[in-house]
Amino acid sequence: MTSDGEGGGVSGGRPTMADVAARLGVSRQLVSLVLGDRPGPSAATRERVLRAAEELGYRADTAAQLLRRARSRQVGVLFTMEHPMDADLVEALYPAAARLGYGLALSAMLANRTERQAIDELVGLRCEALVLIGMSAQAPEDLAEVARRVPVVEIGQRTDSAGTDSVRTDAVSGVRLAVDHLVSLGHRSIAHVDGGGLPSAPERRAGYLKGMREHGLDAYVDLVPGAYTEEAGARAARVFLDRDVLPTAVVCCNDQSARGLLETLVRAGRSVPGEVSVVGYDDSRAARLSFLSLTSVRQDVERIAEATLEAVAERLERGRIESTHVLLPTTLTVRESTAPPRT
């Protein structure tokens, strides 16, 4: 009888590596790498070889063990605990992952944990791919090193790090929709509470500036520093309240900022939308609260989740190696926080 790794065949006795290779139309050397659990072959190739080996009965117990070890079918998700939008995205990722046969492993960003520590923890849990939600602008070379180990998909930003994919919404067009809406109501003095260097904030700022310019409102451009927090929105409101004249409308960088701005204006005795119309961004659950009823630029979290897991599957199951960057459209949800300006 021939040895396990040599010639022979299914018809002549115990299946060999050559039989597995012939079944798949690949080289015996590739089969040897996979069955020896050595580096080189992709995750998708490993699964094909191991399944073929198991089906042929080649070292069935060893092949099955390697197959289980080679594929965890776990996707690691790194997210912050600061923004409601992140929680909405995590919730949407679960059904999207389940439809493709994946599970999720979560790792939250905290003040005492670096992004790299959280990433290494997920990789240590045998996650086959990583989804990064709302991360700070990590050094491209660092993220590229991670992407050499496992597929990486960024949600909400695009760093163009080598080997990474991204899924974002069109923030430029989204904020432009908000400006168009306010102008259609008759507003001219429209301010923007900026998000600084946070993910997507530069694009939201660009959308505001583009909208104001295209409506011939350059003279009314009013950028106030801010962030994706209620506290930043409250600070921006106090900036406006310290002026002699309020803007008639404000587009905020996100819903949390808009909530802080709106509540501070109301506590100061100012009417929203009577004196100041307010628009947020994200169309989060907070925007739908009855006492806010916030007009907001909507990001479709279900579509974002589906596109993200599809990018993961393309890498793991179909062997795609080039980067892909998905840009999804936004819409505007109009509620009671915007109205025509007082004459």
For residue 151, give the CATH number of its domain: 3.40.50.2300
Asked if residue 36 lies in contact with residue 51, where contact means CB atoms within 8 angstroms, the answer is no
Q: Are residues 134 and 255 in the same domain?
A: no
- Does some domain include residue 203? yes
d(Cα 15, Cα 155) in Å, to the nearest integer?
46
Please name the amino acid found at residue 287.
A
What range does the domain containing 247 cover? Answer: 171-300
d(Cα 142, Cα 162) in Å, to the nearest integer?
10
Q: Are residues 266 and 201 in the same domain?
A: yes
- Does some domain include residue 336? no
**CA angle at 276 for the pair 271 and 278, rounded to the nearest 5°:** 110
Q: Are residues 227 and 124 in the same domain?
A: no
- Does some domain include residue 5? no
Number of domain units in the chain = 3
Q: How many angstroms separate the first and last alpha carbons of the chain?
A: 97
Q: Are residues 217 and 258 in the same domain?
A: yes
What pLDDT does residue 124 have?
79
Domain stop point among 27, 51, 70: 70
pLDDT digits (tens, 9 = 90+) for 97-133: 999 989 999 988 777 777 777 888 888 788 899 999 9
Q: Are residues 87 and 116 in the same domain?
A: yes
Q: Are residues 62 and 86 in the same domain?
A: no
Domain stop point among 8, 39, 70: 70
d(Cα 150, Cα 198) in Å, to the nearest integer?
25
Q: Are residues 181 and 228 in the same domain?
A: yes
| Average pLDDT of span 333-341 | 97
For residue 60, give the CATH number of its domain: 1.10.260
Q: Are residues 258 and 177 in the same domain?
A: yes
| Average pLDDT of span 271-293 | 94
Q: Are residues 280 and 179 in the same domain?
A: yes
Domain stop point among 36, 70, 104: 70
pLDDT digits (tens, 9 = 90+) for 146-157: 888 889 999 998
- Does some domain include residue 12? no
pLDDT digits (tens, 9 = 90+) for 164-218: 999 999 999 999 999 999 999 999 999 999 999 888 999 999 999 999 999 999 9
- Does some domain include residue 337? no
Q: Are residues 124 and 24 in the same domain?
A: no
pLDDT digits (tens, 9 = 90+) for 233-270: 999 999 999 999 999 999 999 999 999 999 999 999 99
- Does some domain include residue 334? no
pLDDT digits (tens, 9 = 90+) for 8-52: 444 456 788 888 889 899 988 888 888 776 777 887 888 888 888
- Does some domain include residue 8? no
Q: Are residues 142 and 289 in the same domain?
A: no
- For residues 217-240, one letter each, b for 16 or more C-beta atoms within 10 angstroms of the residue's C-beta and e for the rest, the string is beebebebebbbbbebbbbbbebb
Q: Are residues 317 and 224 in the same domain?
A: no
* Residues forming a β-bridge with 105: 76
- Does some domain include residue 131? yes
| Mean pLDDT over the full length of the chain | 87
